[in-house]
Structure 1
């Protein structure tokens, strides 16, 4: 008699298809581009560097140089320490940068290269160039995780524990601002806001000029612009720090080390954490917080902008009321955009992100009215294939009527035959992606106009006769 065999059930596995995120080192590279005189260096294969350059160049339409330690098969087996040292020496000699930002890729992380030990052996500097390392294996996070990790690493490097505070200028009341991954136009707008409040600010990172500068008369090895290292070194004498991002704030509360927590623990600098200021309510909170921190009233121009925006909400309400939207992108961006849509009357029926911070749901619940939460499908660690299947499988009266997100969702929007409003990062198939203003009353005004006009265009296109008046 043949003995019976026990059969093991293999659990089903669904691979990620067209992930709603990008590689962790990409976010770190963007941060390094926002520091004056800095050259990013990826410790890994040359293909990783090429991939990052492709994404950044396509979105910003500017030249982007990213050095590489150029792993080979031999390096992958025996370690990349020698390659990293040689790459650092070459970059220091050819570019004479103030700083080299070193991000590790999946390959160097997997084989276990001890990058901090390698940099310590070099004194964490070479020929006057500071060396800053951030660990960014893509299998543990997203490009936003790499972004925040790099900001924290830079602050940690230039504001070490035990650093003597020579002075803290109370009169100037300088503020540190960690805005997160925003557009060039968003960063420029933030600088205008602080200037209108007459409050000195150090923004980290600030790639708004370096990744959108004038045409060159002659080649520049390192583009001008970025937060000066000298300003980063003085972040420990600021009177306050501000970090933007609901998810980031919740992660900080749960113990994640951010730039704000580093400065708070080491130097006693209080840190205010707020959602990205998209829409009336979020912008109110941001301006009120800045007014309280600085001791200055909100400038009159912003009050006028607010009421012009509220008037536009009223004018356009009949076109957007109870419309349904699918939003995707970085977690903090989706949370703030969902809050904006809710206040104008649009229901964000699907809120999706490739992130998996475990605080995405909590952040959405905190920013949205209770009456909307039960109507929303929240998806994290998501790819576009699953997102599309979710939208397509909804009943007709619940399906999204508009999609809001970056260019990576274009194919999905095309197949679903739902109009796409391009916002966030990356935007590859349009010009001006880096010049989209999302934040503040002015940003909300532009977003609102764009969304309403997209809905109207769809209605005109679908109409059998068309119409010329609203």
Structure 2
């Protein structure tokens, strides 16, 4: 296994996004919450642009709108003005505040700003804030920081109940709806957090909703501290990154285990049969009930599909890129179906990627790892690797086009295709859909590049 770690003087087309964007996703997964970015207007505009383009929903992200004066003398007055405007226009139940590079660099004390505001004003919304300077991580660090901050702010300890927590990480709205369906099938009450399955993929309404319906309620967040157990998807979380609540705590589930003794079950993203089996086994163990027949049949159909399509995928060389937890799950899935991940790339650099892949594929493999990478570096590496397919977000399209290989779009952001909110990734059903897309992309490539053009393949 080769790890690419050459000196980089500048990032050329980053394979990551900014930390406040990840925090904003968590804010959008809380009922009645309006995100506030404490920094320049450009930061909130950047976040809105990415989220609107991917989810195809209106996304309001407020900003304290730093000017040169605020950058020198502090943004306290901007903060007050911003909060007053949010309350006046949106009347939110919750305001989630994320700092930016600028407000962090000048040393803004957001905790103090919130205390001063709530001390001087009655009947204010609920507040919680998170430190998210982008020079200390990626959008996934911001996501997990915000998830930890929300649980730390709202969770209440109490007598252990029969409900569970499911913290799925950065998955699609369709994946979250699938998890809700699973909870119904297993007859279990669960708090899914964050839940942006409606706020970022809502039904059509005649009137514009200033604050979209849906999201994890504050009452549900309060109950996370008395849950029977937590299930959270991921391997990396915030490991390798110092955070505001203690470097040893890398996830919301770890915080609940440490502070409120809620048992925590960390499993990789359930993509593939083996990973999905682990997830369903945890669910079955917590509920003391077998897997429902519907899902047993979905598993069986997936196995049958693996057999049917083995001749199309075996030995194919793939490049996968995106968030670390996501690419680790994809690497395990590709290994399972007989494809060879030749390059695994991410803009993050937790230091966990190599050991995670060694555990999946075995040490001594020849996978090329590019963590802390950008797309220009990936492009250079791929010239020698000669892959058959790329799997990742839309930002890699120009490389796939240049190398004339198919790109299967998955993850975030997807700007050049429709329906990103409805892409399934997890469970037997999500794996089936992803597998079909990969197989068909390879078949289409062979068909389009054949001198005769197969009608039957």
TM-score, normalised to structure 2's length?
0.95
Q: Is the 8 A contact 1:202 1:227 kept in 2?
A: yes
Per-residue deviation, residues 109-153 of structure 1 (Å, max 9, x unmatched): 111111112112234886241111000001110001100110100
Superposed, which structure 2 residues align to 1:342-357 within 5 Å? 342-357=335-350
Report the counterpart of residue 8 of structure 1 in structure 2.
Answer: none
1:242 alignment partner in structure 2: 231
1:259 corresponds, among 231, 252, 255, to: 252
Is the Cα contact below 8 Å between 1:186 and 1:438 reproduced in 2?
Answer: yes
Question: Which of residues 125, 132, 142 is equivalent to 2:128?
Answer: 132
Contact kept in structure 1, 2:157 and 2:225, CA below 8 Å: no
Structure 1 residue 254, shift from structure 2 partner: 7.6
1:254/1:282 CA distance change after superposition, 3 Å: farther
Quote how far apart the aligned CAs of 1:236 are. 1.1
Give the secondary structure class of the aligned counterpart of 1:15. Answer: coil
SS in 2 for 1:418: coil
* Residues 283-336 of structure 1: per-residue CA shift (max 9 Å, x gap): 000000111122121111111111110110000001111000000000000000
Q: Which residue of 355, 359, 379 corresponds with 2:370?
A: 379
Alpha-carbon deviations, 1:25-57, whole Å to 9, x = none? 000001101110000000001111111000000
**Aligned mates of 1:304, 1:291 — CA distance in 2:** 16
State yes or no: 1:362 paired with 2:360: no
Deviation at residue 12 of structure 1 after TM alignment: 6.9
- Pairwise mapping of residues 307-456 of structure 1 onto structure 2 (< 5 A)? 307-370=300-363, 374-394=365-385, 399-456=386-443
TM-score (ref. length: structure 1): 0.92
Equivalent residue, structure 2, for 1:187: 176
Map 1:200-279; keep pairs closer than 5 Å.
Answer: 200-248=189-237, 255-279=248-272
Asked if the contact 2:97/2:130 (under 8 Å) is kept, the reply is: yes
Residue 113 of structure 1: which of 99, 108, 113 is its match?
A: 108
Q: CA deviation at 1:255?
A: 1.4
Name the count of aligned residue pairs: 447
Aligned to 2:160: 168
Instruction: Tell me the SS of whatever aligns to 1:428.
Output: coil
For structure 1, which runs of at least 5 residues remain unmatched after alignment? 1-10
Q: Is the 8 A contact 1:329 1:354 kept in 2?
A: yes
Secondary structure, in 3 states, of the residue corresponding to 1:225?
coil
Given the alignment, which residue of 146, 149, 152 partners 2:145? Answer: 149
Is 1:27 equivalent to 2:16 in the alignment?
Answer: no
CA distance in 2, matches of 1:294, 1:63: 38
Deviations 1:334-355 (A, max 9, x none): 0001101111110000000001
- Contact conserved, 1:89 with 1:126, CA < 8 A, in 2? no
Q: Which residue of 1 aligns with 2:75?
A: 80
| In structure 1, C-alpha distance between the alignment counterparts of 2:46 and 2:432, rounded to whole Å | 34
Secondary structure of the 1:393 match is helix
Shift of 1:244: 0.5
After superposition, the Cα gap between the structure-2 partners of 1:462 and 1:157, relative to the gap in structure 1 and judged at 3 Å, is: same
Q: Is the 8 A contact 2:239 2:350 kept in 1?
A: no
How far apart are the structure 1 equivalents of 2:447 and 2:265? Answer: 45
In 2 relative to 1, CA 300–369 (structure 1 residues): closer, same or farther, beyond 3 Å?
farther
Counterpart Cα distance in 1 of 2:423 and 2:456: 28
Task: Name the CA shift for 1:315/1:89 in 2 (closer, same or farther; >3 Å).
Answer: same
Aligned-residue CA RMSD (Å): 1.8
| Aligned residue in 2 for 1:70 | 65
Distance, in Å, in 2 between the alignment partners of 1:58 and 1:182 is: 16
Q: State the Cα distance separating 1:367 from its structure 2 match.
A: 2.3
- Mapped contact 2:157–2:226 kept (Cα < 8 A): no
Q: Decide whether aligned partners of structure 1 residues 118 and 260 sit closer, same or farther in structure 2, where only a CA change above 3 A counts.
A: same
**What do residues 1-36 of structure 1 show as CA deviations (whole Å, max 9, x unaligned)?**
xxxxxxxxxx97531100000011000001101110
Q: Is 1:198 aligned to residue 190 of structure 2?
A: no
Structure 2 unaligned blocks of 5 or more = 1-5
Matched residue SS, 1:136: coil
Q: Distance in 1 between matches of 2:169 and 2:286?
A: 20
Distance 2:136 2:379 in 1: 24
Q: Secondary structure at the match of 1:466?
A: coil
Contact 2:39 2:102 in 1 (8 A): yes
Structure 1 distance, partners of 2:394, 2:35, is 25
Larger radius of gyration: 1
Q: Secondary structure at the match of 2:35?
A: strand
1:205-254 per-residue CA deviation (whole Å, 9 max, x = no partner) reads 00011111111211211010101111111211111011100112866998
- Aligned 8 A contact 1:249 1:273 in 2: no
Q: Are the structure 2 counterparts of residues 226 and 126 from structure 1 closer, same or farther at C-alpha, using a change threshold of 3 Å? A: farther
- Aligned equivalent of 1:6: none
